[in-house]
Structure 1
Amino acid sequence: MSYCNVNILSVDMRCRENNSAHRTWEIDLERLIVRRGQSFSISVLLSQRLRGCNLGLDLHVGKREEVVISVKKEKCSASDWWFTERYACNEVLLTLYSPADAIIGPYRLAVTLSGPDGRVLDTKAMTKFHLLYNPWCKDDVVYLPDENWIQEYVMNENGIIYMGTWNNITSRRWNFGQFEDNIMDICFEILDYSNEALRDFKKDLCQRADPVYVSRIITAMVNCNRDRGLLEGCWEEPYTDGKAPYRWTGSVDILRRWSESCAKPVKYGQCWVFSGLAVTVLRCLGIPTRPITNYESAHDTDGNLSLDILLNENMEVVKERRSDSTWNFHCWVESWMRRLDLPQGNDGWQVLDPTPQELSDGTFRCGPCPVRAIKEGNLDVKYDAPFVFAEVNADVIHWIVRKNGERQKIKVCEDCIGRNISTKSIFGNRREDITLQYKYPEGSKKEREVYEKAKRAIRDESPDRQEQTQVVVNIKHEKLVFGADAELVVEVTNQGQKTADISLSLAAEAQTYNCIRLGVLQKETKQISVQANQVHKEVVRVPYKDYVKYISGQQNIKLTTLLQAQGVTKPIMAVCKLAPIMPKIKVDIDGKICRRRRSSCSISFTNPLKVPLRGGVFTVEGAGLLASTKVKVNGEIAPGHQVSAKLNFQPMRCGIRKLLVDFFSDGLRDMKGNATLNVRKF
């Protein structure tokens, strides 16, 4: 039988079998998606039994085939692609082995049939497949040894992002949706639109084997500053030409809008939205990632590891060209990987911050920075360690700027920054506090040693310690439900043996969660006398009608007190932030939920305000359930009245799913609700 008559009839990529083995079936079952460092099999059907001929495989990577890889017939080194053959009549089963450090992305496979003399007899048109990182592979630098961690940090399409204030923590459900239709393709599209890819695509392509490089690119591309990134940030109303940041409930809609608009940035986002997007993209690519929230998060603009907060004599913040600030909370992400580019001891969780705050190598991004390096004060490691260290461990120094320009230091706080650092637990929907992964206990000797070590690294002196006084001021409050009046109690305690005559100044203002001032709510100065060993209480009430002018989403009320006691050289200061709690939406699921069958849910809430609501809109979405869908409320919702809506949907994927609901109106915004569904096959 002549080998010249043999032809390649077809190539079967065995997508369902391979995708199931590689845990990518959630992404797609109709096209091949595999993970590096793990073998997969394809079948080649020939016109007749193969005798005297050879099959060859070539891989083409890149839009213009910038990288071509010849797949070897035996393993020569750990970085080689290679394959084995098994024959059954005129069918050949090929098992391909990818290296654990292979380039991720779309590949095209060419199967070539050649004779003994090397002459090409037939070539099958190239077939596409995708390669992802592999957290199950011990040789992959993103390897995670704990299956529970992988299920949470790679496979979970739903999560919780924490918000609020350090003493009133709230949470927001987020639909990461990394396995929704076309999301993987959009993730690779994001890489293709990066500045690095546009500048030198082949060089960029070759570096996509490295999750340190890829995560750094993603961190830059999630925001749109100085590139063709996903999302434009905006921290103040109005959002009329886009969507308010607090109205997003997931990443999928943002990613699709960006892709459909040919890489025009979507409007608008803030830190939790940037964080949610980064989690989606990195998990989709196979990098274990989790959202992190840091309360009382420092933004150190001058890199001296301390925040200098300047106040004038009217207790108004003095803004300089680049002012330090403290955010109520700030969200970033952590990704798990080995750091082969750093000395030992820097593997594990790496901080990545996609919110555009400071430049890193000329681009608005931050990280990856090892969490271990932050805890030990090692600021010389890549990337952006001083900035991350300050976010969780800076000292805060308050200054009074007198009318003559003289500055007086009035307060130094060594334990204000980096509180209750939070992420979702792998064991359910509860919060896990990971503060001690970032720093030693506040007030401990080790914590101060690390801080002093970090200060020496940047050659800056430590701030003076706060002097002790016999007059102490504290601010207390109950939780504030949006629609009720706010009430705060200022307690001035005289611990001395003589009566204290005090000038007490109070200033309440509305501000965004990242300290942008929106407006003054109250301001007054009064003279008080506090007897020895007694407590004086001042009640500050802020009516709903006053704060509603400024507060609708993640804004808050900030109360600053400044008192000057006779015989005390420095003013005494206390600050409190109070964020209103929004009402919850009730979501009920009607009956048993089965895949590809019509299902329904009921959504309702009662208007808690004393005014009617107009222009009400529910937005509903859920990974594997339905794309972002709007349900309009007809007419106005009277005070105390309940509004309800019913929505039909058809689940596309089985398993435990989350349905997320947002409500928006003229008087109530940032209202959320959710329900957990178990979608069955039958």
Structure 2
Amino acid sequence: MSRSRMGSEHAAYVADMTSRYRRDNERRREFSAESDTGSSQLPHVERVEFYAPQNAREHHTLRYEVVQDRYRADPVLRRGQPFYMAIRLGRPLDFARERMYVVLKYGPRPVVTLGTKVYLPVGKKEFTKEKQHWDCRVHGDDGATVVLQIQIPFDCLVGDWSFSIQTIGAESVGRRRAEYKCRENVYILFNPWCPEDACYMEDAAERDEYVTSDTGKIFVGAHRRYRGRHWVFGQHDNMVLPAAQLILERSGLSHAERGSPAKVVRALTGTLHSENHGGVLQARWDGQYEDGVSPWTWTGSVRILEQYLRSGGRTVKYGQCWVFSGLLTTVCRALGIPCRSVTNFVSAHDTDGTLTVDKFFDAFGDEIEHGPTGDSNDSLWNFHVWNDAWMARPDLPRGYGGWQACDATPQQESDNKFQCGPCSLEAIRRGEVGFGFDTTFLFSEVNADLVHWQEDDASDWGFSKVKRDHYHVGRSVLTKRCGAADSDDEADADDITHLYKNPEGTAAERIAVFNAVRGTVGAQKYFDYPASDDEDVQFQLADIDSVMIGQPFHVDVNVLNKSAEPRTIKAFMHANSVYYTGIKALDIVREPVEFTLQPGQTESVVVKITPEKYMDKLVDYCMVKVYALANVVETRQSWSEEDDFVISKPKLRIEADQPCVVNKECRVSFSFKNPLNMELNGCMLSIEGSGLTRPRVMKLKRTVQPHETFTHTEAFVPRELGDKTIVATFQCRQLFDIEGSKTLAVVN
């Protein structure tokens, strides 16, 4: 249902919800032991008790902070399970002559026929309905208090329900009703523990990782030199469920459709960003973050969602793909949908539906931005982070359920909105682009062909194909391995490329591509362009594995003349700083080279790049892209290759000076060695740890001298027992995105 159709009544409902959640959040932050002396609207119903903590133990929701909040314990329940509640009366109810109902409502205009309003009569001793229906039975009755057990359907609508108790006296049947409105927000979630639920996940270890774990890793960088950033999902924080409900309200998804995980996830991908108006987080990639927060400064989702909720739903600035993925993981897990962050290294953004990423170069080897017509916007992202969500897909053929790709980063419109997924990984792997949602786009991200075109006067349309690479895109797809945790290395990375694509070079992989081509009209002509076979000079661009910031590096191309005649080579070497989306930022070096190779001769073309050439040209994540293009004068053979890598930075070390004890002050130090020959100033440290400390940002009134070891100590009081991960980032004017994490054991 669109926002316009939902009308002013829904707008008022959202405004009231925003105000209520914001008030609740402030009260929870400032709450002191105060008595509740509010009067009941219904004199003979004195109180309703939801047994929030007790029910939470059975519903696997005890970690949600709202369940045990001193201000007001809100029940957090999972569908497909019964729960208990008690009604304390001013006098015993005469069940033979009087009636009592538990009334449940969802949304601004609850309707029984849409499942958004439910009347449960109180009286019978046993459940009589199947598990897909609401049901109520009297568990105990001592006259003054009636204890009920209520069955939640396994396909119940998910979100914040309101409860009330209605009574009808013996003389008022069919006419006047008295009502007691419960003040609690009753959250009903998807249930991965329930076999009938669409989000059911059988494996207990996987449920622990993808539903209940509140920290994880998001992999970033280059495919040969990636690193995992710890992220605090914090889905159990006391303001996350209210924020998730507000996000759903603003998505425009009909309340009657909120029992479908596929529709809920699709709605979330369109509402976590601001492109569709009113979203949580604004995307930005140009490095201009002065009026907000730099994307690499975030350490988790809680600070973002708290700012969103406390500001009354105003968009937060700024995010990039891995931040959107962290947010989506948080909201999905909070709602009970198993979810994980997934990183695709060398990710294609195919803007014209050709299943290719086309790059155009002029006769001198310079890339022609936006192509010869000015509207070619294909790009290769060094990495792109999206999500997998686990669910059944009854709308697809058998075998296409399970993990579904979904993406909250605003890249391209789908059904006239910026939204993406959920799309079956099995459909992507097979190239079944006719299955919803957005399979063609997601297939291209992991399996498009990379095509280089260069100006050629002899060509009918002015360009000839220099290179077609079937295997450059989708070099690896990583997520955090189930159950593993590695603060200092990447041993917890799980390569799930095989779930997205068949092994490169196999018949199955090519069949998947041809399946996709057959279903994509725009792709068919691009797969017919011929390439030159007259190739007798061999070129190889040497890989650059790792460069520490402040150190030199070089671009190296090895050339071998395999022919029996001399060959004249004209080569162009380029190195650019790039945003991780593949968009060029600044030229670092551009060097033409011309030489002659004798038969059988090998030559190495080397361009050395010093720190002075690149330090002031680096942008977000310190990524560099190298292009090498060459032409053989005698045969018109053309060759091109590209590579990208990350300028590495030191890790932020985190150490506790003593064992961490729950509810006692703990001191933790943060340190790294300045790798530069310059002073660091404008220093700032951000830290966050679920169960350890709420998000905090410190502006440090000090500088760090060249090659000095920076050290800073913070104190906090752990709130929960167990292994807890603290995440921190350091930034200054000269360096950014120095990050680290540490898992600390909190004991009694």
Flag whether TM exceeds 0.5 (same fold): yes
Distance 1:388 1:608 in 2: 39
Letter in 2 for 1:408: S
Q: What corresponds to 2:721 in structure 1?
A: 654
Q: What corresponds to 1:200 in structure 2?
A: none
Q: Does the aligned pair in 2 maintain the 1:631–1:645 contact within 8 Å?
A: no
Q: Does the aligned pair in 2 maintain the 1:223–1:274 contact within 8 Å?
A: yes
Letter in 1 for 2:87: V
User: Structure 1 residues 466 and 275, CA, compared in 2 at 3 Å: closer, same or farther?
Assistant: farther
Q: Does the aligned pair in 2 maintain the 1:150–1:288 contact within 8 Å?
A: yes
Correspondences of 1:422-501 after superposition (within 5 Å): 422-429=478-485, 430-459=492-521, 460-461=524-525, 462-464=527-529, 467=532, 469-476=535-542, 477-501=544-568
Q: What corresponds to 2:120 in structure 1?
A: 71
User: Structure 1 residues 543 and 75, CA, compared in 2 at 3 Å: closer, same or farther?
Assistant: farther
Distance 2:437 2:426 in 1: 13
Distance 1:307 1:334 in 2: 24
Q: Does the aligned pair in 2 maintain the 1:412–1:465 contact within 8 Å?
A: no
Q: Does the aligned pair in 2 maintain the 1:562–1:572 contact within 8 Å?
A: yes
Q: Encode CA deviations 1:581-600: one digit per residue, 9 max, x unaligned.
A: 11111111121222222111
Q: What corresponds to 1:216 in structure 2?
A: 266
1:19 aligns with 2:56: yes
* TM superposition shift of 1:112: 3.1
1:309 aligns with 2:359: yes
Q: What corresponds to 1:35 in structure 2?
A: 78
1:146 aligns with 2:203: yes
Letter in 1 for 2:293: K
Q: Encode CA deviations 1:610-639: one digit per residue, 9 max, x unaligned.
A: 011111111111112212212333332111
Q: What corresponds to 2:16 in structure 1?
A: none
Q: Percent identity?
A: 30
Which deviates more from structure 2 when the two are superposed, residues 326-335 or residues 461-470? 461-470
Distance 1:241 1:434 in 2: 38
1:352 aligns with 2:409: no
Q: Does the aligned pair in 1 maintain the 2:675–2:706 contact within 8 Å?
A: yes
Secondary structure of the equivalent of 1:549? helix
Q: Does the aligned pair in 1 maintain the 2:131–2:152 contact within 8 Å?
A: no
Q: What corresponds to 1:62 in structure 2?
A: 107
Q: What corresponds to 1:384 in structure 2?
A: 438
Correspondences of 1:128-143 after superposition (within 5 Å): 128=184, 129-143=186-200
User: Structure 1 residues 77 and 522, CA, compared in 2 at 3 Å: closer, same or farther?
Assistant: same
Secondary structure of the equivalent of 2:620? coil
Q: What corresponds to 1:621 in structure 2?
A: 688
User: Structure 1 residues 425 and 665, CA, compared in 2 at 3 Å: closer, same or farther?
Assistant: same
What's the Cα RMSD here?
Answer: 2.1
* TM superposition shift of 1:464: 4.4
Provide structure 2 residue ranges, at least 5 long, that are not aligned to the other structure.
1-41, 486-491
Distance 1:321 1:262 in 2: 39
1:605 to 656, 665, 672: 672
The aligned length equals: 670
Provide structure 1 residue ranges, at least 5 long, that are not aligned to the other structure.
198-203
Q: Does the aligned pair in 2 maintain the 1:287–1:335 contact within 8 Å?
A: yes
Which deviates more from structure 2 when the two are superposed, residues 254-263 or residues 160-169? 254-263
Secondary structure of the equivalent of 2:308? helix
Distance 2:83 2:731 in 1: 48
Q: What corresponds to 2:19 in structure 1?
A: none
Q: Encode CA deviations 1:218-247: one digit per residue, 9 max, x unaligned.
A: 000111002210111111122211111122
1:411 aligns with 2:467: yes
Q: Encode CA deviations 1:255-274: one digit per residue, 9 max, x unaligned.
A: 11122222222111111111
Calculate the TM-score normalised by the size of structure 2: 0.86
* TM superposition shift of 1:98: 0.6
Distance 1:6 1:295 in 2: 63
Distance 1:631 1:96 in 2: 48
Distance 1:629 1:209 in 2: 36
1:8 aligns with 2:61: no
Letter in 1 for 2:637: K
* TM superposition shift of 1:317: 2.2
Distance 1:86 1:633 in 2: 59
Q: What corresponds to 2:4 in structure 1?
A: none
Secondary structure of the equivalent of 1:342? coil
* TM superposition shift of 1:35: 0.6
1:512 aligns with 2:576: no
Letter in 1 for 2:536: Q
1:266 aligns with 2:316: yes
Q: What corresponds to 1:645 in structure 2?
A: 712
Distance 2:705 2:619 in 1: 19
Distance 1:558 1:36 in 2: 50
1:99 to 153, 167, 176: 153
* TM superposition shift of 1:118: 6.9
Which deviates more from structure 2 when the two are superposed, residues 295-304 or residues 63-72? 63-72
Q: What corresponds to 2:656 in structure 1?
A: 589
* TM superposition shift of 1:402: 4.7
Secondary structure of the equivalent of 2:271? helix
Distance 1:456 1:25 in 2: 50
1:663 to 708, 730, 738: 730
Which deviates more from structure 2 when the two are superposed, residues 636-645 or residues 115-124? 115-124
Distance 1:171 1:44 in 2: 50
Distance 2:520 2:678 in 1: 55
Secondary structure of the equivalent of 1:540? strand
1:246 aligns with 2:283: no
* TM superposition shift of 1:94: 0.7
User: Structure 1 residues 635 and 46, CA, compared in 2 at 3 Å: closer, same or farther?
Assistant: closer
Secondary structure of the equivalent of 1:284? helix
Distance 1:567 1:587 in 2: 60
Which deviates more from structure 2 when the two are superposed, residues 256-265 or residues 421-430? 256-265
Distance 1:417 1:236 in 2: 24
Secondary structure of the equivalent of 1:548? helix
Q: What corresponds to 1:229 in structure 2?
A: 279
* TM superposition shift of 1:76: 3.5
Distance 1:38 1:475 in 2: 60
1:635 aligns with 2:702: yes
